[in-house]
Amino acid sequence: MALNTKRAFPFLPQVVTGETADIYFLRTRQVLQDLACDPQVGFEIFAGGTGVLCGVEQVVQLLLEADFNGELWTIPEGETIERGESALEIFAPYGSFGIYETAILGTLASCTGWATAARQVVDAAGGVPVMSFGARHCHPNVAGIMDYAAVVGGCVSCSTPLGAALAGVTPSGTMSHAYILIVGDTVRAAEAFDDVMPPDIARIVLVDTFQDPAVESVRVAEALGEALQGVRLDTPGERGGVTAGLIREVRARLTTAGFPQAQIVVSGGLTPERIRAFSEAGAAADSYGVGSYITAARPIDFTGDVREIEGKPVAKLGRIPGMQRNPRLVRVI
């Protein structure tokens, strides 16, 4: 993904002021300032695991908003990185970026974890579009960034307007169980949605609120006709969740009723394993909405090391002195 410095990621002001940093970085800055010591350093950030690199553009934004005075070299956003590979290299006076080590590593760790999980789901789907529906599984302060990372990982869209704006896509979503429960009938809810929503909003109707999804799918299709673009299956675990048999039945009943063009969207606790199982059973959906698998992804650790001071190779015990100078890196600042 090409670097886009025009994005505006929603950093808390406390990140720029250093209040989210590990305290010892703030103490380090205080002591070094007292010593009038601010050497030019080479700082290397490498990955603790293989994954889809994400968070680079946020690091760029943070440094540009701060008192950074140097060079930043990175592997481009969205490319695969290997364990131990240098993903970012900084050449600058230490004082111009030192207090942001916590924020930089945390941004890369979380976003790369989300993007990597999204890529795993996308690969399992084998070309079937995947949307990120994970905002309800994380804190709202990071929901938009999580959705952005999911798109970097390969999702075609996401559920939050902020995440979609950051990623440059259109937000995706159908209708909620709450809406249908309040209206009191799936068909009436679908008709009201069709009447009110602008034409560019997909008419995809949730069909498992009141009755059997296969029955509701046909009812909705007969009511909306050609306006219906698809139905969504999100059957809860209490009723066995969405199964391959259910997907096949819904598709068969829609086809028999004269609506073979209606798509089937599946959501609810999806994992790469479940998606592969649908395909293997001949029950692949037309698209998938995946939430907690992406949101709950384990962060991929990143480590930052000073490897050079005033041009002299250095390293802490156990590390090799000097910068890797990974040939995949490109200068972005």
Sign of CA dihedral 85, 105, 119, 236: positive
- Length in residues, the chain: 333
How far is Cα 52 from Cα 112, in angstroms, rounded to an integer? Answer: 6
* Residue for token pair 């009943």: 253
Asked whether 251 and 264 are in contact (CB, 8 A), the reply is yes
CA distances from 226 to 2, 129, 235 (A): 39, 22, 25
Token pair belonging to 192: 């009201």
pLDDT at 330: 97
Q: Which domains does the chain have, with CATH numbers?
A: 13-113+298-331 (3.20.140.10), 119-295 (3.20.20.70)
Check if the beta carbon of residue 150 is closer than 8 Å to that of residue 319: no
Render each residue's pLDDT in the chain as its tens digit; 333 residues: 556 656 799 999 999 999 999 999 999 999 999 999 999 999 999 999 999 999 999 999 999 999 899 999 999 999 999 999 999 999 999 999 999 999 999 999 999 999 999 999 999 999 999 999 999 999 999 999 999 999 999 999 999 999 999 999 999 998 999 999 999 999 999 999 999 999 999 999 999 999 999 999 999 999 999 999 999 999 988 888 899 999 999 999 999 999 999 999 999 999 999 999 999 999 999 999 999 999 999 999 999 999 999 999 999 999 999 999 999 999 999
Q: Which pLDDT does position 217 carry in this prediction? A: 97
Question: 232 — phi, psi (to 5°)?
Answer: -115, 135
pTM: 0.94
Give the Cα separation of 34 and 152 in Å (integer).
43
Tokens of 208: 């498992």
| Sequence-ordered alpha helix ranges (H) in the chain | 13-17, 23-34, 56-65, 101-125, 140-152, 161-167, 177-183, 186-196, 213-224, 244-256, 272-280, 292-295
**What distance in Å separates the CA atoms of residue 285 and residue 273, rounded to the nearest whole number?**
14
Give the Å distances, CA to CA, from 243 to 126, 268, 270, 279, 283. Answer: 18, 11, 11, 11, 9
Helix, strand, coil % (nearest 5) of the chain? Answer: 45, 15, 40
